[in-house]
Amino acid sequence: MGGTTLVQSDGPAPALPAPDPVPAFGAPPEPPAGRGRLRVVLAALLLALLLAALDQTVVVTALPAIAGELHGPGRTPWVITAYLLGSAAALPVCGRLGESTGRKGVFAFALVLLAAASALAARAHTMDQLVAFRALQGIGGGGVLAGAHAIIAGLVPARERARHLGAAAAVFGLATAAGPPLGGLLTDHASWRWCFDLNVPLGALALLAAAFGPRLPGPARRARFDVLGALLLTAFSACLVLLAARAGTARPWHSHVTLGLAAAALGTALLLVVAENLAAEPLLPPRLLRNPVFVACAVLGAATGAALFGAVGYLPTFLQMADGAGAVRAGLLVLPLTAGAVLGSLISGQLARRTGRCRLFAAAGCAAAAAGAFLLSRLGTGTTWPAYTLWTALLGTGAGLAVPAALRAAQRSVPAADRAAAGGAATYFRQLGGAVGAGALGSLFARRLVDGGAVSPLTPWVLRDLPPELRGGYVRAYAHALPPVFLYLVPVLFLGLLLAFLLKEKPPVSQNLAEAPVIPSARTAPPEEEPPPFVPGIPVTGVVQHHDGTTVPRAALTLIDGGGRQVGRGATGEDGRYALSTPGTGSYVLIAAAGGHQPQAVTVTVGERPVELDVVLGGAGRLAGTVLTADGSPVRDALVTLTNVHGEVVASTRTGRDGGYDIGELIAGEYTLAGSAPVFRPAALPVTVQSCRETRQDIELAGGAVLRGVVRAGGGRLVEDARVTLLDAAGNVVDTATTGSDGAFRFVDLSAGEYTVIAAGYPPVATVLQVAGGGRTERDLQLGHAD
């Protein structure tokens, strides 16, 4: 979201919607207190990620048992949807809170909330209680996901960051895939409540380890928290999910509840757009929603999220209730779906990064997922396991291919400074799509169950103990309720396929100084490739600004040591802030440069404490004026040229109808300004361009007079090869000419004044004449000749 810290890492994207690894701070981390303590806290962060990822899918195999024990088959979809909704709302909010108040505190609170909500969920006595506690779990899980990636990026040096963030993505993907089998194991051999109780000791262990980790530096600048935007975003998400889960199933489309939810969703969306346009630091930058490529990526991500969570959430219920599989076996049978999603993400994430072909992988993924969803709509009790495995793997792998390709395309569709916000926004929409899809498909599934006669809630083991004549009715109801629901996913994924063709193909490029800071801040984009090696040391931070105090975004910075070796490089964010790290104490030179500015080099003396150093650049100047004649008339289409002190042409332009010219983006300094036009004498004059302002300089062109005539001999005969010399009033030779066969001569570009013209070739003749400025003078010369 605008300013959130959710951006994509170079590691593999997780199989199911998840936040992307984040460079967290506007300033580089302090050196870790010790490698041992760093390893402990990294292990704690990975453990926390494991819990947050497991909670998305571990409960799916326990849903039939939960519905039977808590007597709420119609509300089972909300056990999944509530967690996804809370997670989607918490991701951007916790990311911004971390920038405002400190990431470690937000992460610790989210982890405590996750563990406490898990303990409460394990002791729920009604379905409504469980759904409420699952929503709290989702908020905690979203905060853990956002905070864990941000803290990893803040603690680990950049040269090792890709490896650790890749490990975090791998942990998330494997936990997502392992969730259904683990939930089945706990349900069959203990109780479904252990799916939640397991989080309490593991969460406490992760919190204890993180508490003893190295101290984290605070953000270089406290971000403003967009309270109104957070409230409206949460309200919009809740209204949209409620509308999708209840419209047309629990409530008719024309009911007051449905119409009220639709009006609330639309109203909060409009208010959110207005609020974000007025916010100083919006949670969701409005310019992203004006980018058609980003919007296509967001909708595509939402479609794949809906397909994944719809399938993962309800296939285990079908397998247990219609096919008689135990919870463990049902969890194992979902592995082709989840493992295919992990494998597809790994393949697409790596190949899209290397080849830049996001469109190909997104389109292929949506097509494969749509085919898998269509085949699953034909699922029945007589479907063979090889066919079922192929269909689920096709859906999972297809969705896995599309997710990271859409995310990378979203980040590449925006300027470098907006890539972090684009990654966070795409992740939010993907989570929201999963919540909407799971809620809508779950509601349809529950409605079809009721229509099929499966009204009384039963656990799988109670169903297996029923007499055959009673069990058959329930089995048929479940067997006919779920498969047709998958048909609703086909048009959704087909829409994703169409949108995939709107994605822009962009080959990977090497890192650019202006777009790849050493430590990206929350406002700057992640580089396309791995950043240059980062050496832990004393940080140097500050602002690059103009003389008037305004900041300079995307300025390139280079740090060199006393031997001229580069020890760091980076770039400022949109707020003009930069952060570099030095190898240790000593004296360094910091070089700052930006387009249209005078480069600046300053000396930095680094001691034992971080250094705050602001750099002032000479801003771009402007040169404008008018080319005029001596009487003040404008000269149209005159050529104006600007050269620097080395004689190199810096800029050239032509005047308009009013004789005006305008040259921008000039570095402050001394220049030579020249102007020329037909029938005028060229003019040149020195000019000083000032920084951050417009310099006015008019150019006056003197008219160039023309003197022409012919040389004749006696009888008016034209004289060829006669030499004609022009002298000024002081007797200096101005120009010479030799007549041709027509006896004509011509002198151009003359100043006004008195001249003497001498023709020789016969006995010479001299004539004194007056030349008017800017005009034409004609004078024939008569030579004497003796026959």
Burial label, 9 (beta-carbon count in 10 A; 0-12, 13-18, 19+):
buried
CA angle 329, 332, 334 (to 5 degrees): 115
pLDDT score recorded for residue 707:
82
Domain for residue 9, yes or no? no
- Whether 665 and 747 map to the same domain: the answer is no
Q: Which of 595, 616, 637 is the last residue of a domain?
A: 616
Comparing CA positions, the residue from 260, 104, 122 lying closest to residue 201 is 122
pLDDT score recorded for residue 35:
57
Question: Beta partners for 676?
Answer: 639
- Whether 590 and 627 map to the same domain: the answer is no
pLDDT score recorded for residue 506:
55
Domain for residue 683, yes or no? yes
- Whether 98 and 212 map to the same domain: the answer is yes
- Whether 253 and 319 map to the same domain: the answer is no
Burial label, 324 (beta-carbon count in 10 A; 0-12, 13-18, 19+):
middle
The edge-to-edge listing of strands for the beta sheet with 586-593 is 566-571, 556-560, 586-593, 600-606
Question: What average pLDDT does the segment 16-40 reach?
Answer: 44
Question: What average pLDDT does the segment 7-23 reach?
Answer: 37
Domain for residue 295, yes or no? yes
Domain for residue 156, yes or no? yes
Domain for residue 505, yes or no? no
What token pair was written down for 353?
Answer: 């990064």
Q: How far apart are CA 5 and CA 23, in angstroms?
A: 7
pLDDT score recorded for residue 13:
37
Side-chain-side CA neighbours of 203 within 13 Å: the count stands at 27
CA angle 12, 16, 22 (to 5 degrees): 50
Q: How far apart are CA 116 and CA 672, in angstroms?
A: 74
Q: Which of 596, 616, 636 is the last residue of a domain?
A: 616
Domain for residue 479, yes or no? yes
Q: Which of 701, 719, 740 is the last residue of a domain?
A: 701
Burial label, 535 (beta-carbon count in 10 A; 0-12, 13-18, 19+):
middle
CB atoms near residue 550 (< 10 Å): 10
Residue recorded with tokens 């909407």: 436
Q: How far apart are CA 262 and CA 85, in angstroms?
A: 17
Comparing CA positions, the residue from 481, 436, 437 lying closest to residue 455 is 481
- pLDDT tens for residues 697-718? 999 887 767 788 888 887 778 8
- pLDDT tens for residues 84-121? 888 888 887 877 777 667 777 788 888 888 889 989 98
- pLDDT tens for residues 278-330? 877 787 778 888 888 888 888 888 888 888 887 887 788 777 777 767 777 87
Q: How far apart are CA 337 and CA 346, in angstroms?
A: 14
pLDDT score recorded for residue 772:
64
pLDDT score recorded for residue 453:
65
Domain CATH code at residue 461: 1.20.1250.20
Residue 234: pLDDT over 90: no
Domain for residue 529, yes or no? no
- Whether 696 and 717 map to the same domain: the answer is no
- Tell me, rounded to whole angstroms, the distance of Cα 481 from its chain centroid: 42
- Whether 324 and 336 map to the same domain: the answer is yes
Residue with the larger pLDDT of the pair 412 and 21: 412
Burial label, 786 (beta-carbon count in 10 A; 0-12, 13-18, 19+):
exposed
Q: How far is CA 300 from CA 8, 399, 410, in A?
A: 17, 10, 10
- pLDDT tens for residues 135-182? 888 888 888 887 777 777 666 665 565 566 666 777 777 777 788 888
Residue with the larger pLDDT of the pair 776 and 699: 699
pLDDT score recorded for residue 59:
85
What token pair was written down for 763?
Answer: 């006995």
Q: How far apart are CA 151 and CA 44, in angstroms?
A: 11
pLDDT score recorded for residue 660:
92
- Whether 138 and 93 map to the same domain: the answer is yes
Question: What average pLDDT does the segment 196-209 reach?
Answer: 82
- Whether 221 and 231 map to the same domain: the answer is no
pLDDT score recorded for residue 548:
64
Question: What average pLDDT does the segment 487-499 reach?
Answer: 88
- pLDDT tens for residues 592-636? 888 767 778 888 888 767 788 888 777 667 889 999 887 788 888
Packing angle, helices 63-70 and 292-321, rounded to 10: 70
- Whether 341 and 429 map to the same domain: the answer is yes
Residue with the larger pLDDT of the pair 159 and 754: 754
What token pair was written down for 640?
Answer: 């104006």
Residue with the larger pLDDT of the pair 456 and 119: 119
- pLDDT tens for residues 644-672? 887 878 888 999 888 999 887 777 778 89
Domain CATH code at residue 645: 2.60.40.1120
- Whether 346 and 380 map to the same domain: the answer is yes
Q: How many helices (H) and strands (E) does the chain have?
A: 20, 24
What token pair was written down for 493?
Answer: 């994924």
Give the domain extent around 255. 227-278
- Is the distance from CB of 401 to CB of 344 less than 8 angstroms? yes
- pLDDT tens for residues 408-424? 788 777 765 566 677 77
Comparing CA positions, the residue from 87, 82, 121 lying closest to residue 200 is 121
- Is the distance from CB of 576 to CB of 545 less than 8 angstroms? yes
pLDDT score recorded for residue 700:
87
- Whether 451 and 557 map to the same domain: the answer is no
Question: What average pLDDT does the segment 566-585 reach?
Answer: 84
pLDDT score recorded for residue 17:
38
- Whether 205 and 231 map to the same domain: the answer is no
Total of domains in the chain: 5
Share of the chain above pLDDT 90, in %: 3
Domain for residue 519, yes or no? no
Domain CATH code at residue 581: 2.60.40.10
